[in-house]
Amino acid sequence: MIPAASKVGIEVELMAPSDSSRLSLAQVMATACSGQVQVFFFPQAEAAKSASGAAFQNLTQGFRVTDGAGRKVAELVDDLTLQLDCDKQHLPQPGWYRIVSNDARLLNLVQQHCDPAAAPGVLLEPIAKLFGTRPTEQGGMIRVADIDDSPVVMLAPLPGERHRPCELISAPIDGQFESTIAGLLVPAHSLGFTLAAEAATHLHFDGALLRSSRVIARLIQFFNHFEEALRARVLTNPLNRRLASLPSSLVAMAGEASFQDAAWDQARQRMLDAGVSKYADVNFLNLARDDRRKPTLEVRMIGPSMSPRWLTQQMEFFAEVLSWSLGTQPMPLQLESI
């Protein structure tokens, strides 16, 4: 069982039917809990097709559902890895857009100064004012440049059915896990949402008790040792685009006594130096960065499912793994021994 004091967040990657969108799901969820939908900017990075290989930073429309008391229930956002179900030639839907730049800092300004609920035609006016210019429209896109005409950001219609991918991100769940997950997914079922072809399930566990070099070393060694068995157990999706084994440099580091005995800040830096990455079966990067916005250990390897019972079983299993890491028991001989 998951300890009563634990909080776990879950992310389920869905696909809206062709006549619906993640906004449609947000509206139904809000109605079900007598709540509201708030639009917000959701940041993503997309590899550019230019020779430089620089990433285009994106802001897309996310939708936050709050209940009647104003508490966050879930966020519904785009996920650029979900592509196979979408018609890339499909024309943009009215009102759907993305804001792009080659500098994430400029998009941070957009998030601070622009209203995501504003109409696309006026949305970028506050950021243009910061640079002493006005937005200009070019071929259906809205461009902001500085006084030297160097590009700042651009708002463009959202093509290729990108309104359909829907990563459902729960608020932290602190009890009644199965019924809470069921409540999140009932509206998706009612609208005909399905699991995306490349989908995964992600679990975020509170990292407060894991900020220890010894605990992290045990977890790295566990996930490395049981990699194949874990993938089989949790039905890892072979189409998922952003999974990988833990870096060999990270695994080697975890076996060193100097790391296991290190103070936490020293251990965090060594993890960063060893190439810890978000895009692995298990994401230790949030802990290594001491990310206060998302202070979690993220298990990313779990296969897609809309079954509350099965999803809760995965929560319970990995909660047991974390409990094992906090103790002193040796590596189990098999997964079932956890």
Are the C-beta atoms of residues 306 and 182 closer than 8 Å to each other?
Answer: no
Residue 269 CB coordination number (10 Å)? 12
Q: What's the confidence (pLDDT) of residue 45? A: 82
Distance separating alpha carbons of residues 338 and 333, to the nearest angstrom: 9
Helix (H) or strand (E) holding 12: strand 8-15
Which letter does DSSP use for residue 254 in this model?
A: H
Q: How many CB atoms lie within 10 A of CB 229?
A: 12
Per-residue pLDDT tens digits for 152-197: 999 999 999 999 999 999 999 998 999 999 999 999 999 999 999 9
Cα(30)–Cα(66) distance, integer angstroms: 7
Q: What are phi and psi of 195, to 5 degrees?
A: -80, 135
Q: N- to C-terminal Cα distance for the chain?
A: 12
**Token digits of residue 14:** 């869905």
Residue 3 has a pLDDT of 53
Neighbours of 168 (CB within 10 A): 25
Q: Which amino acid is at 184?
A: L
Which pLDDT tens digits describe the chain residue by residue (338 residues)? 555 447 899 999 999 999 999 999 999 999 999 999 999 999 998 765 555 556 678 999 999 999 999 999 999 999 999 999 999 999 999 999 999 998 999 999 999 999 999 999 999 999 999 999 999 998 899 999 999 999 999 999 999 999 999 999 999 999 899 999 999 999 999 999 999 999 999 999 999 999 999 999 999 999 999 999 999 999 999 999 899 999 999 999 999 999 999 999 999 999 999 999 999 999 999 999 998 889 999 999 999 999 999 999 999 999 999 999 999 999 999 988 88
For residues 50 and 107, what is the distance between their CA atoms, to the nearest angstrom?
Answer: 20
Enumerate the β-bridge partners of residue 11.
169, 202
pLDDT given for residue 50 in this prediction: 52
pLDDT at 100: 95
Confidence at residue 4, expressed as pLDDT on a 0 to 100 scale: 43
What pLDDT is attached to residue 324? 96
